[in-house]
Amino acid sequence: MEYVVAAVILLVVLIVGAVGLVVPKMRRRDLPPPPAVPTVPPVEEEIPPLIEQAAPPVAVEEPPVEAPPVVEEKPLLEKPEPSAGRLVRLRARLARSQSALGRGLLNVLSRDHLEEEDWEEIEESLITADVGIEATQVIVERLRERVRVLGTRTVAEVREQLVEELVGALEPGMDRSLRTAPHDGRPAVVLVVGVNGAGKTTTCGKIGRVLIGDGGSVLFGAADTFRAAAADQIQTWGERVGAETVRGPEGGDPASVAFDAVKRGIDTGVDTVLIDTAGRLQNKVGLMDELGKVKRVVEKHGPVDETLLVLDATTGQNGLEQARVFTEVVDVTGVVLTKLDGTAKGGIVIAVQRKLGIPVKLVGLGEGPDDLAPFEPKAFVEALVGGDA
Ligand SMILES: Nc1nc2c(ncn2[C@@H]2O[C@H](COP(=O)(O)OP(=O)(O)OP(=O)(O)O)[C@@H](O)[C@H]2O)c(=O)[nH]1
C-alpha cells in the first residue's frame, strides 16, 4: 500500500512538472510580437488660425499715435476759363463768315468810285450773310449817305464807317448782362429753351462753365426728360466742373424735375440753377403746355430770372420762324446763337435781334467746352469784317 501511495505521488509530481514546462512555452507562442518601434504619443499637427488672435492687451500706457489723414480720392475737376475776352480769343472761329462777308465788302469798298452797282454788290453781300433784307437796306442807305457827305475815300475810312453801321444795327446799348446772381436768399434761376438739336444741352453745360469760370457755383436741372441721353449729357458736363445735376426718371414730368432742381439749389446754396428743357416743337399748344408748366411750377419758388433761347445760326432765316414761336410761349430774355463757327452767315446775329427784339447775349463758336462767349457787338463786327481791326 505504501508503494502505491508513493507511486501516485510520484506520478502527480511528474505530471505537474511536465505541465509546468509545456504551458509557459505555449503562452509565449500565443503572444503578439512586440511593436518594432517604441511608441511615442502622436503629436497633433498645428493648423494656423484663420484670424490671428490679437495678443492680450498690455496694460502699459502709450502716448496716443495720430492716425494718418484719410485722403479722399476726388476726380480731377476742370477749371473753366473766365468769360472776359473770350470773343476776341475766338475771333478766328468766324473765319468762314469773315471770308464770305468781310473780304467781299472790303474788295468793293476799295474801288476808286463807288457806283450804283457797287452799292448793289454791297447790299447783296449783306443779304447773303443773312443780315436780313430790311436791316441791309438801312445799313447800306446810311453808309452811302456818310460816304457822300464826308467824301470818304480811303478803304480804311470806309471800313471804319461800315463797322460803325453794323455795330449800330446790333443796338450796342441793349442790356446783355446775364441775371445769374443769387438774390433774396435763393439762387438765380435760368431756363434754357430751344428746338432739339440747336445745341441747347451743350449750351447749358457751357453756360455753367462760364459761370463757374467767373467764380460762381451752379446746379443743373435735367428737365429734358424726353431724351435720356440729354440728362446723361448734362450730368457729364456737371461732373467735369464739380456741379450737381438733378434729374428725374426717363419720360418723367419735366416740371417736377425743374421744381426739384430749384429746391435743391436753394438747399445747397448755389448761385445759379440752370434748367435744360425739352424743345419738342410738335405744335405751339404742346410747347406752351410744356414750357408754361415748367415755368409755373418753378415759380412756386420765386420768379425765373433769365430765359435763354438757343438758336442754331446755320438754320438761317428759317430758324427765326421757330424762334418766334418760343418768344410767344415764354418770356425770352436773351438769345444764344450757336454754331457761328460753322456758317458763312454770321450776319444772322443782326437779323435775330432785329426780328425778335431780344438781345443776343452769348454766341457759340465751336464744340469745345469753353467755345461760348459773351456777345460784344464791336468785337463781333470787327471779326466779321476782318481787315485791319
Ligand atoms: N460747331 C458747333 N457745334 C455746336 C455748337 N453748339 C452745339 N454744337 C453741337 O451741336 C450738336 C447738338 O447739340 P445738343 O446740345 O445735343 O443739342 P440739343 O439742342 O440739346 O438737342 P436735344 O438735347 O436733342 O434737345 C452737338 O454735336 C454739339 O456739339 C457750336 O457753337 N458750334
- Minimum mean pLDDT range among 190-194, 229-233, 325-329: 325-329
In this prediction, residue 310 carries a pLDDT of 95
H/E stretch holding 269 reads none
289 is in an annotated binding site: no
Give the bridge partners for 199, in sequence order. none
- State the Cα–Cα distance between residues 99 and 91, nearest whole angstrom: 13
- Relative to the CA of 364, which ligand 1 atom is closest? 31
Mean pLDDT of 155-180: 92
**329-364 burial, b if ≥16 CB within 10 A, otherwise e?**
bbebbbbbbbbbbbbbbbbbbbbbbbbbebbbbbbb
Domains in the chain, CATH or no CATH each:
83-170 (1.20.120.140), 188-376 (3.40.50.300)
Higher pLDDT, 123 or 74: 123
The Å distance, Cα 280 to ligand 1 centre, comes to 15
Span 232-289, pLDDT tens digits: 999 999 999 999 999 998 888 999 999 999 999 999 999 999 999 987 666 777 777 8
The Å distance, Cα 354 to ligand 1 centre, comes to 24
- State the Cα–Cα distance between residues 101 and 346, nearest whole angstrom: 8
ipTM of the complex: 0.93
Span 101-122, pLDDT tens digits: 887 888 888 887 788 999 999 9
Is 10's pLDDT higher than 80?
A: no
pTM (two decimals): 0.79
Q: Which three cell numbers stand for residue 224?
A: 429734358
The Å distance, Cα 202 to ligand 1 centre, comes to 5
Torsion, Cα 325 329 334 338, to 10 degrees, reads -40
Q: Which three cell numbers stand for residue 9?
A: 505521488
Q: Specify whether the backbone of 75 is left (phi greater than 0), alpha (psi in -120 to 50) or beta.
A: beta
Nearest CA to ligand 1 atom 6: 199
Confidence label for 57 from pLDDT (cuts 50, 70 and 90): very low
In this prediction, residue 12 carries a pLDDT of 60
Span 303-355, pLDDT tens digits: 999 999 999 999 887 888 888 888 988 899 999 999 999 888 899 999 999 99
55 is in an annotated binding site: no
Find all residues with CB under 8 Å of 208, minimum gap 6, and list them: 218, 220, 237, 238, 241, 243, 274
- State the Cα–Cα distance between residues 342 and 95, nearest whole angstrom: 9
Rg (CA), the chain: 46
Residues within a 6 A CB radius of ligand 1: 194, 196-202, 224, 227, 230, 279, 338-339, 341-342, 364-367, 371
Mean pLDDT of 78-92: 85
276 is in an annotated binding site: yes
H/E stretch holding 21 reads helix 2-30
Alpha helix ranges (H) inside 173-253: 200-213, 228-241
Find all residues with CB under 8 Å of 365, minimum gap 6, and list them: 87, 90, 93, 94, 340, 341, 371, 372, 373
The Å distance, Cα 203 to ligand 1 centre, comes to 7
Determine the straight-line distance between the first and last CA of the chain, rounded to whole angstroms.
170
Q: Are residues 159 and 110 in contact, defined by beta-carbon separation less than 8 angstroms?
A: no
- State the Cα–Cα distance between residues 181 and 179, nearest whole angstrom: 6
